[in-house]
């Protein structure tokens, strides 16, 4: 240990825990498979979002009069403002993609099975919180796109039987979109969601460390033999290199295509066609198939069914089999959802 390290250890006792964190034994099959990087990359992109989000908050004005101009200032005037906003903007999409891919990896590898149920359940919540980040962040520039998409989004919440009105009022802070809505979305986006997400990630990672990685998908009963490698440097270096690659892509996107900002929100405009961020397009498309009285099927029944089946999954699929090709029900279900999401997104585009 270095002199500085010893000095800190003598005063805090942190040396032991840090060392055992870094020396943690990771199975060889994990270290060699890029699919196991997806969770780490999701963690890195969350850290990047938190960092760029804090920088943005120094210049963002969360008022209906000032929000648009402050985002315009960040994008076009503030030195490197385009880069900070660009990374945050494209990073949001990257986080949704990575969270979804990481979930698919754990799903197809049956990593939700006993004793990792809590790991899976915290993951399900993390997925929905990630989407909530996207939904609340969309309004903050207070431009036409964000305003009208939030108008529709909160109206959809309003169509939920019995509690719809109260839910919409809670989200909007009144009957219509205004300062109260922006304040609530801002507080949710920069305080409530980051705090909850960070807490859940801590539980998620603690669970991971407690149980270790799930077994490789080998034949039933056959143990995956092989070596273990320490978490540091093997896994850390892999993820750090992949993280730098991801950062390079985000910088490239930010430089070649400025994060969009449309005309300022105009509650009086009647011809603006609301459209959500691309990762909600499939849902908007689905709503079209359930008009009028059928709307609650799309706003309540289907989301509840999907959330419920994700929550119940580890308690239903309890067998030892982990190979996706030997588990047709779970595999076909996932492929069905993926196809529906891709097709609906394509139709909406």
If binding is defined by CB under 6 A, does position 26 make contact with ligand HEM? no
Residues in 40-59 at the binding interface with ligand HEM, rule: CB under 6 A: 40, 42-43, 46
Angle, alpha carbons 46-86-193 (nearest 5°): 35
**For residue 307, what are its two tokens?**
């959330």
Angle, alpha carbons 300-303-308 (nearest 5°): 110
If binding is defined by CB under 6 A, does position 123 make contact with ligand HEM? yes
CA-closest candidate to residue 80, choices 88, 146, 134, 91:
88
Among 106, 150, 154, 285, binds ligand HEM (CB under 6 A): 106
How far apart CA 89 and CA 130 sit, in angstroms, is: 14
HEC assignment per residue over 9-49: HHHHCCHHHHHHHHHCEEEHHHHCCHHHHHHHHHHHHHHHH
If binding is defined by CB under 6 A, does position 124 make contact with ligand HEM? yes
Among 50, 127, 132, 341, binds ligand HEM (CB under 6 A): 127
Check residue 103 and report its DSSP letter: H
User: Which of 109-117, 158-166, 270-278, 294-302 is the region at the interface with ligand HEM (rule: CB under 6 A)?
Assistant: 109-117
Shortest distance, CB of residue 110 to ligand HEM, whole angstroms?
Answer: 9
Number of residues this chain uses to bind ligand HEM (CB under 6 A): 27
Cα 267 off chain centre by: 30
Shortest distance, CB of residue 105 to ligand HEM, whole angstroms?
Answer: 6
Residue nearest ligand HEM, Cβ-based: 123
Q: Which residues bind ligand HEM (CB under 6 A)?
A: 36, 38-40, 42-43, 46, 99, 102-103, 106, 109, 111-112, 116, 119-120, 123-124, 126-127, 130, 201, 204, 208, 213-214
């Amino acid at each position: 240990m270095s002199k500085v390290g010893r000095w800190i250890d003598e005063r805090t006792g942190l040396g032991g825990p840090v060392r055992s964190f870094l020396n943690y034994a990771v199975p060889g099959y994990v270290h060699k498979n890029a699919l196991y990087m997806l969770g780490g990359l999701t963690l890195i992109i969350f850290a990047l979002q938190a960092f760029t989000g804090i920088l943005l908050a120094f210049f963002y004005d969360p008022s209906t009069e000032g929000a648009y101009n402050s985002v315009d200032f960040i994008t076009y005037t503030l030195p490197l403002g385009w880069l900070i906003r660009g990374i945050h903007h494209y990073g949001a999409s990257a986080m949704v993609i990575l969270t979804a891919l990481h979930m698919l990896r754990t799903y197809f590898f049956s990593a939700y099975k006993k004793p990792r149920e809590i790991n899976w359940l915290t993951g399900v919540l993390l997925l929905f919180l990630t989407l909530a980040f996207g939904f609340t962040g969309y309004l903050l520039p207070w431009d036409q796109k964000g305003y009208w998409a939030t108008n529709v989004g909160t109206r959809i919440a309003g169509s939920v039987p019995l509690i719809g009105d109260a839910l919409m009022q809670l989200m909007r802070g009144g009957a219509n979109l205004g300062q109260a809505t922006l304040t609530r979305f801002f507080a949710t986006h920069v305080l409530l969601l980051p705090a909850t997400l960070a807490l859940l990630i801590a539980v998620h990672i603690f669970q991971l460390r407690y149980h270790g990685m799930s077994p490789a998908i080998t034949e039933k009963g056959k143990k995956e033999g092989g070596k273990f490698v320490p978490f540091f440097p093997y896994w850390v270096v892999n993820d750090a290199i992949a993280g730098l690659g991801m950062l390079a892509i985000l910088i490239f996107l930010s430089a070649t295509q400025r994060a969009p900002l449309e005309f300022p929100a105009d509650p009086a405009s009647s011809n603006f066609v609301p459209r959500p961020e691309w990762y909600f397009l499939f849902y908007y498309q689905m709503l079209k198939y359930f008009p009028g009285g059928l709307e609650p099927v799309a706003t309540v029944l289907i989301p509840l069914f999907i959330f419920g089946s994700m929550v119940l999954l580890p308690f239903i699929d309890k067998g030892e089999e982990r190979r996706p090709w030997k588990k047709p029900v779970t595999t076909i279900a996932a492929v069905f959802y993926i196809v529906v999401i891709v097709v609906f997104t394509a139709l909406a585009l």
